[in-house]
Homo-oligomer: A and B are copies of this chain.
Amino acid sequence: MYLFNSDYLEGAHPLIMQALVDTNFTQTPGYGTDRFCREAAEKILAACQSPNSFVHFLVGGTQANMTVISAFLRPWEGVISADTGHINVHETGAVESTGHKVLALTGKHGKISAAQVDACVTAHAEDSDREHTIKPAMVYISQPTELGTLYSLAELTDISEVCRKHGLLLFVDGARLAYALACPENDVTLKDLARLTDAFYIGGTKCGALFGEAVVIRTPELSRHFRYMIKQKGGMLAKGRLLGIQFGTLFTDGLYEKVGAYGIRMADRIRTALLENGYELFAQSPTNQLFPIFSARQLEALSKEFSFAIWQKLDDGAAVRICTSWATEEKAVDSLIIMLRELK
């Protein structure tokens, strides 16, 4: 049985495991104040061409989202998100647990537009009893989105501009960022993210690391007390070095790019096979998540050899999610493609 359920089914890229083993007995101070973290941060900022930004390492995605959002907002402020956004659906109300409302806008293919943000802010500002509604103060988007889709540079620029017009912060969740960056369709670089957002994070957990997300914050004002929040929200790893070592490795010799490129190549092979064999796609994703629709018969046959995440049950079968990653075995992809052909 081979699992295509997600991109966090295995451990870490072998180079990362090696780095952890190599440094295992090196003594360092705790809580991310060590030289591995410092060096990793420098490499990340170099990759972002944003030397004056700030890097903070966190353990996981929900933790990163919750910590950033609650650190940046005041109590009466809310965060705008697509209705399908991770913070709105799949984080057990973590943002609300810190006191903030998620203002959900109806997404299109998992994305929201600058015009929607503008309308939302305007609607809240126009209200004569404005203190009776939450004040929108941040926009949260993901690159790629929950549905694997991508914001274009033009779209991201528009959203950034509307945020700056209204004084909103822009925060981009990059849990799967390596797979966006490696996508031929993508025209948003790390430099663009560092330039157009107030904060974004570079996902490690799904992109080659055992765990870890690197939050990049643009201004000293937003970064100054961020470590207090990491600690308070339970995200300050005693052996913070583990994050520094992993991200240092990911940002050495282009490993982060390689990790993304491999995952995308595996996804491309499966997508091509799906399309060539006439399978319908529930959502169009150019990244490492694919959402094919399988009939009950197909699903039953496939499930003998492969496991997928059920995305949505349908009358006949289901839309499933197939996820590739840096760890996907090419042989398993070969077998899947053969089976996809046979079942059509």
Contacts and interface: CB of A to CB of B under 8 A. Distances in A.
Interface in A62-119: 62-63, 66-67, 70-71, 74-76, 78, 89-94, 96-102
A230 interface: yes
Contacts of A235: 63, 234
Contact of A17 (B21, B60, B70, B92): B21
A236 interface: yes
14 contacts: A8-B30, A8-B238, A10-B26, A10-B27, A12-B24, A14-B24, A60-B236, A63-B235, A91-B132, A92-B132, A92-B232, A206-B238, A233-B233, A234-B234
B5 A239 contact: no
Nearest to A126: B313
A131 B99 contact: no
Interface stretch (A177-185, A221-229, A297-305): A221-229
Contacts of A128: 310
A327 B25 CA distance: 8
Given A9-B28, A228-B135, A211 B96 contact: no
A131 B229 CA distance: 8
Given A25-B327, A97-B98, A210-B242, 19 more contacts: A6-B238, A9-B29, A11-B24, A11-B242, A21-B21, A60-B234, A60-B236, A62-B231, A62-B234, A71-B75, A75-B229, A90-B129, A92-B228, A92-B231, A97-B232, A99-B99, A128-B310, A205-B238, A206-B238
A35 to B, nearest CB: 13
Chain A contact residues: helix, strand, loop or mixed: loop
A47 interface: no
- Copy total for this chain: 4
A252 interface: no
A72 to B, nearest CB: 10
Q: How large is the interface on A (under 10, 10 to 19, 20 to 34, 35 or more residues)?
A: 35 or more
A339 interface: no
A308 interface: no
A66 B236 CA distance: 13
Contacts of A31: 129, 131-132
Nearest to A25: B10
